[in-house]
C-alpha cells in the first residue's frame, strides 16, 4: 500500500503547534477553526503512524518523536521559504517586495534618501516603509510581518533572525549649558536637577538602566518619556539632564545650542544599531540595504557629530558589511 503524501498545510500547522503549544492559539493565529487545526494535526500523525503531540497535557507538549520531527520540519520549511525568496527575487535587481522598518532615530534624515537609492537599485520592487521602536521591529520580524529592519540590538538574544551590525553609537551625557558641576553631584538622589529617563519599555531605556545598575547608580524616577525630542528639549529648558546616544542627540539639532554634551564618565558604553532580517531574506538584498544605510549614517550622523566633538571620533562609527 503506497504511503500517504504529506500536506504542506499539515506541516505548517504542526510547526505552529510546536511553537505556540495550543490548538486554540494556532486557530487564532491562522484564522482556521479549532476543529480544522485538530484535523490537520491528526491527519499528519495518521500519515506518519506516530503521535507527535501529547494530547493529555495543557499546554500541549511534543512527544519525543514530535521533538525530533519538529526540528526537521523547521529545517525543511526554512529551506522552502529561502528558496521561495530567492526565486521571487532572482538577483537583487529583480526583487519585487520589501517590507522595511527603521527606528525613529533615522527616519527623518535617512529614510527619504535610502528609499530613493533603493528604488533606483530595485526598479521592480514595491516598498512598504514602517517607523517603529526597536522592540516592535524585532517582534514584527520574528512574526514574519517584516522582511528587514534597522533596530537597536537588545540585551537579550534575538531568536530566528540574522543580524548585520551597522553602527556603534556611544552613550553620552546631555546637560543644560549652565550646569557647572560634575557627575558625582548629579547622581545624588536629592539633587535639584532631575534625571530624565528614556522609557524602560524601549530598548534604549533598558540599556541605559542596565549600565546605571552596573555602575551602582540609583536615580529617582521623576520623569520617564518615550520621545527623544521631548527629553532633549527639557534639558535645553534647564529641567533636567539625561543619558542618550550620539545619534539620538544629533536628531535634536534645534536644541544643540542650548545644551552641553560630555562623555559618559568611567567606562564608556554604546548601543549597536543593526540590520536584522529573517533567516530566509536574500543575502544580496541585505548587503544592498546595509551598504546604503552605512553610507547615509556616515554622511548624516557620524561625520557631523565627530567633527563637532572630536572625542567621539574613535567611539562613534559605522560597521562595514561582513565579508
Residue 71 C-alpha cell reads as: 526540528
Please tell me the predicted confidence (pLDDT) of residue 193. Answer: 87
The confidence band for 131, taking pLDDT boundaries of 50, 70 and 90, is: very high
Calculate mean pLDDT across residues 267-287: 88
183-187, 208-212, 218-222, 295-299: least confident range = 183-187
Q: Check pLDDT > 50 for residue 9.
A: yes
Q: Burial letters for 184-221: b for 16+ Cβ neighbours within 10 Å, e otherwise?
A: eebbeeeeebbbbbbeeebbbbbbbbebbeeeebebee
Please tell me the predicted confidence (pLDDT) of residue 93. Answer: 53
The confidence band for 88, taking pLDDT boundaries of 50, 70 and 90, is: low
- CA distances from residue 185 to 65, 101, 219 in whole angstroms, order as listed: 62, 40, 12
Strand ranges (DSSP E) for the chain?
A: 53-54, 61-62, 97-102, 126-131, 148-152, 161-175, 196-198, 223-225, 242-245, 260-263, 270-278, 317-318
| Start-to-end C-alpha separation, the chain | 52
CA distance 127 to 100: 7
Please tell me the predicted confidence (pLDDT) of residue 84. Answer: 66
The confidence band for 164, taking pLDDT boundaries of 50, 70 and 90, is: very high
**pLDDT higher at 246 or 222:** 246
The confidence band for 181, taking pLDDT boundaries of 50, 70 and 90, is: confident
- CA distances from residue 294 to 7, 28, 116, 301 in whole angstroms, order as listed: 43, 40, 15, 10
Please tell me the predicted confidence (pLDDT) of residue 317. Answer: 96
Q: Check pLDDT > 90 for residue 114.
A: yes
Calculate mean pLDDT across residues 33-48: 90
Q: Check pLDDT > 80 for residue 197.
A: yes
pTM score of the predicted model: 0.73
**pLDDT higher at 262 or 76:** 262
Strand partners, 68: none
Of 154, 201, 165, 113, the residue nearest 276 (C-alpha): 165
Q: Check pLDDT > 70 for residue 313.
A: yes
Of 278, 197, 188, the residue nearest 239 (C-alpha): 197
The confidence band for 189, taking pLDDT boundaries of 50, 70 and 90, is: low
Mean pLDDT (the chain) is 88
The confidence band for 151, taking pLDDT boundaries of 50, 70 and 90, is: very high
Crossing angle of helices 111-121/283-297, nearest 10°? 140
Residue pointed to by grid coordinates 499546554: 59
Please tell me the predicted confidence (pLDDT) of residue 180. Answer: 82
The confidence band for 92, taking pLDDT boundaries of 50, 70 and 90, is: very low
Other Cβ atoms less than 10 A from the Cβ of 69: the count is 20
Kindly list the structural domains of the chain, giving each domain's residue range(s) and its CATH number in brackets, ordered by start. Answer: 8-89 (1.10.10.10), 97-323 (3.40.190.290)
22-31, 88-97, 295-304: least confident range = 88-97
- For 190, what's the count of Cα atoms within 13 Å in the CB-facing half-sphere? 0
Which CB contacts under 8 angstroms, 24+ apart, belong to 188-193?
A: 189/218, 189/219, 189/220, 193/240, 193/241
Q: Check pLDDT > 50 for residue 262.
A: yes
Amino acid at each position: 500500500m503506497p504511503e500517504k503524501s504529506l500536506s504542506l498545510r499539515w506541516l505548517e500547522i504542526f510547526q505552529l503547534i510546536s511553537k505556540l503549544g495550543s490548538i486554540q492559539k494556532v486557530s487564532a493565529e491562522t484564522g482556521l477553526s479549532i476543529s480544522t487545526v485538530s484535523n490537520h494535526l491528526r491527519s499528519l500523525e495518521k500519515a506518519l503512524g506516530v503521535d507527535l503531540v501529547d494530547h493529555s497535557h495543557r499546554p500541549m507538549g511534543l512527544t519525543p518523536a514530535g521533538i525530533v520531527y519538529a526540528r526537521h520540519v523547521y529545517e525543511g520549511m526554512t529551506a522552502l521559504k529561502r528558496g521561495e525568496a530567492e526565486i521571487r527575487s532572482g538577483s537583487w535587481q529583480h526583487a519585487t517586495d520589501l517590507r522595511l522598518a527603521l527606528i525613529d532615530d533615522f527616519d527623518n534624515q535617512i529614510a527619504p534618501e535610502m528609499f530613493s537609492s533603493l528604488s533606483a537599485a530595485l526598479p521592480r520592487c514595491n516598498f512598504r516603509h514602517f517607523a517603529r521602536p526597536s522592540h516592535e521591529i524585532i517582534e514584527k520580524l520574528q512574526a514574519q510581518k517584516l522582511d528587514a529592519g534597522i533596530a537597536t540590538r537588545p540585551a537579550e538574544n534575538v531568536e530566528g533572525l540574522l543580524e548585520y551590525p551597522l553602527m556603534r553609537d556611544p552613550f553620552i551625557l546631555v546637560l543644560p549649558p549652565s550646569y557647572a558641576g560634575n557627575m558625582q553631584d548629579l547622581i545624588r538622589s536629592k539633587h535639584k536637577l532631575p534625571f530624565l529617563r528614556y522609557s524602560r519599555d524601549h530598548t534604549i531605556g533598558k540599556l541605559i538602566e542596565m549600565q546605571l545598575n552596573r555602575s551602582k547608580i540609583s536615580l529617582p524616577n521623576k520623569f520617564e518619556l518615550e520621545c527623544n525630542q521631548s527629553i532633549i528639549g527639557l534639558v535645553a529648558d534647564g529641567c533636567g539632564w539625561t543619558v542618550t546616544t550620539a545619534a539620538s542627540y544629533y536628531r535634536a539639532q534645534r536644541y544643540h545650542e542650548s545644551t552641553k554634551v560630555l562623555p559618559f564618565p568611567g567606562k564608556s558604553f554604546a548601543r549597536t544599531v543593526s540590520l536584522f532580517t529573517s533567516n530566509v531574506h536574500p543575502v544580496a538584498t541585505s548587503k544592498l540595504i546595509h551598504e546604503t544605510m552605512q553610507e547615509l549614517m556616515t554622511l548624516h550622523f557620524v561625520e557631523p557629530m565627530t567633527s563637532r566633538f572630536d572625542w567621539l571620533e574613535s567611539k562613534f562609527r559605522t560597521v562595514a558589511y561582513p565579508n
